[in-house]
Chain A
Amino acid sequence: MSELIDALAIAGKAALGFQAIFFALLAIGINVQFGYTGLLNFGQIAFAMLGGFGIAISVSKWGLDFWVGVAIGLAAAVVLALLLGLPTLRLRADYLAIVTIATAEGLRLLFRSVSATPVTNGTRGISDFNGQFLELAPWPTNERYRLLGTSWSGGELWVALVGWLLVALACLLIWALMRSPWGRVVRSIREDEDAVRALGKNVYVYKMQALVFGGILGALGGMVYAVGTGSAIPDQYQNANTFLAYAALILGGAARVLGPVVGAMILLFILQFADTGLRALIDNGVIPEGLLTSTDVAQIRFVLVGLGLMLLLVFRPQGIFGDRREVMLDAR
């Protein structure tokens, strides 16, 4: 029983930690692009990588101020969004998907390549760039604190606090945008571009704005992740994360302000709970060694998430927050 409570507490920490913030920000960005505007960005992780490495390279390679690094990371994300959008947003939605997925993988390979090693440290990555940020914490960052049954370091708490503030700010911004006429145009583009064009709106500009805005949110997510782990390694930014963020978005409900946030928390909670819980069950001998060993757990937990998603799509296709009527309209 105590193991169960422990597993719950550890999973709870995961749902509140910087990784959940990372996925939440990625998913909020995807929500702007896919949920509201209908753009298929399959390379959100590339924006996150530019955000993380923007800080890492600026601070430890170029010796710049931390906040200048943040600005550089955001600027890099904007440039990437423009580069991806310029050639593809006039075309059908599929082209953006193809280009973004290829770019995400290509950029990661570029960052870990030997020729990029002088700048990115190649596969080893960059560390020691978050000192200036941690110094801002109002409490000592190297002490540990008991919270909700688990222990947090002061640094973790500080990153989580700032991260959740960022998430709250992003949600507020999206709430304000989506109830405005801008949000109406963007949602109309998701429904039918040509109808919007025929009514005198420059669809291309709106799509570009959505792509850039979502990319900036992705970059912020990457920054939280880099500062939280204290390192920026190219292989941390596998494109599988983009699809986990999509899973979080669908779990919570697309085109809803809080959908991606709650989705990300639940995703991280399930992953961590399955991990700790299954390991405890194996250690106690409840699950026989022949059926499952603790080395399988890392994979099995994703199977469980997949199963959960399937059940969700069957019984609640709109996600947790979605409007069933709205989702069902597509079936017509």
Chain B
Amino acid sequence: MPADPMSPEPAPTGAHAASLDRDAADGAVRRPARTALQDVPWEVGVAKPDPAVVVDGVTRTFGGLTAVSVDHLEIQRGGITGLIGPNGAGKTTLFNLLTGFDAPNRGTWTFDGRSLAGLAPHKVARLGVVRTFQLTKALSRLTVLQNMLLGAQGQKGERFFGALLPGAWRGQERANTDKAMELLRRFKLDTKKDDFAGTLSGGQRKLLEMARALMSDPRVVMLDEPMAGVNPALTQSLLGHVKDLREQGMTVIFVEHDMDVVRDISDWVVVMAAGRVIAEGPPESISQNQAVVDAYLGAHHDAPLTVEEEDRVLAQAEREIAREEHVADGEILSSDVPPEERTDR
């Protein structure tokens, strides 16, 4: 199964992968993950040199529908992994499973060798795996700054009785505020700090959600369609921020539909379709991959159509149209409408 989607290509390891990497030669220095991954074969379920997240046999069904069925998947530490696939491929469900928002029917998954199975979402977040949501969850009736401060971890003032002793948390609050303001400046939201988050535009909310996630000093950031609905100018700055995360040593997993974006920033791309991982590899490998093309466009989208076949299809279509008209005529005849009026219609 893993080698099957690759059949049109020779085993693309070693020199081939290295030549692809030379295209992005200037980026190679700043992309340790890309360098580490260059000798990894382009196979589904392939082992990575230094995996942060490992998924094993995770299956989630909703009634008869298998939303996710991933046999084996490893996510390289310190890299940007793009997760793509057609609508309904199970990308968001996989995110939900990995972060504890949903529980799989079976399977194990670990972060840094620690099993995350059965952990509540807040415990997963405390371990350093923080996610954002496809539909942005800005906390509308809190100010931008309050949104940010919520992201800070280990706050003494968040305990009920601790809250009543302002002396105990004021210093921590001040430090968190400084950190939040620095992040807001980076994301160009500092002038909005006292506005309600509900008054921000869609793109600004995406920025705020990402900045808020960073307040918790995460080790793995999972971004669910961070660019969806964001205008192109803002997309560029968002991309910059995502690359920054890698620079700071974070592991980034993101879902995205825009292939230009995926090609631009990801070190490794995982393609899902119908709940399964159907291909893995560096971004350059994906668009040539037959399984991926089939998943997106249908398996027979480019099968050549002969003249006879075309005639046959055309004839069948005409027959169907004729039959429908006949049925319609029948209905009209049975009513009180005189036959002459039919021609006008």
Contacts and interface: CB of A to CB of B under 8 A. Distances in A.
B287 interface: no
Nearest to A181: B157
**Chain A interface residue number, banded:** 20 to 34
Interface string A187-206: 11011101111111111000
Interface in A146-202: 173, 176-177, 180-185, 187-188, 190-192, 194-202
A213 to B, nearest CB: 8
Interface in A81-122: none
A326 B143 CA distance: 10
Nearest to B154: A200
- Among B101, B138, B139, max chain A CB count under 10 A is at B139
A199 B212 CA distance: 8
A199 B211 CA distance: 12
A149 to B, nearest CB: 40
A201 B163 CA distance: 15
B121 A332 contact: no
A332 B185 CA distance: 27
B137 A195 contact: yes
SS of A interface (majority): helix
A184 B146 contact: yes
Interface stretch (B15-23, B122-130, B321-329): B122-130
Contact of B120 (A183, A190, A202, A325): A202
- Among A191, A192, A200, max chain B CB count under 10 A is at A200
B170 to A, nearest CB: 10
Given A185-B158, A200-B126, A202-B120, A194 B133 contact: yes
Given A180-B164, A195-B133, A329 B140 contact: yes
**Chain B interface residue number, banded:** 35 or more
A60 interface: no
Contacts, number: 111
Given A187-B142, A198-B130, A199-B151, A325 B122 contact: no
Contacts of A209: 160
Contact of A199 (B141, B173, B213): B213
Contacts of B153: 200
A193 to B, nearest CB: 9
Nearest to B146: A184
B142 A182 contact: no
B155 A181 contact: yes
A188 B139 contact: yes
Contact of B216 (A176, A185, A199): A199
Contacts of B164: 173, 176-177, 180
A194 B166 contact: no
A183 B198 contact: no
A200 B125 contact: yes
A176 B166 contact: yes
A329 B212 contact: no
A310 to B, nearest CB: 24
Nearest to B162: A182
Contacts of A187: 139, 141-142, 146
A180 B99 contact: no
B207 to A, nearest CB: 15
Contacts of B184: none
A181 B196 contact: no
Nearest to B164: A176
B301 interface: no
B157 A198 contact: no
A326 B150 contact: no
Interface string B96-127: 00010100000000000000000011110110
A162 to B, nearest CB: 22
A255 to B, nearest CB: 8
B116 to A, nearest CB: 14
- Among B101, B156, B163, max chain A CB count under 10 A is at B163
B102 to A, nearest CB: 11
Contacts of A213: 160
Contacts of A326: 141, 196
A325 B198 CA distance: 10
Interface in A239-271: none
A262 B214 CA distance: 41
B149 interface: yes
Interface of A: 173, 176-177, 180-185, 187-188, 190-192, 194-203, 209, 213, 325-326, 329-330, 332
15 contacts: A176-B163, A176-B166, A177-B164, A181-B169, A182-B160, A184-B146, A188-B147, A194-B121, A195-B137, A197-B120, A198-B133, A200-B123, A200-B125, A200-B216, A201-B158
Interface of B: 99, 101, 120-123, 125-126, 130-133, 137-142, 146-147, 149-151, 153, 155-160, 162-164, 166, 169, 173, 196, 198-199, 209, 212-213, 215-216
4 tightest CB-CB pairs across the interface, nearest first?
A: A182-B163, A181-B157, A180-B163, A200-B125
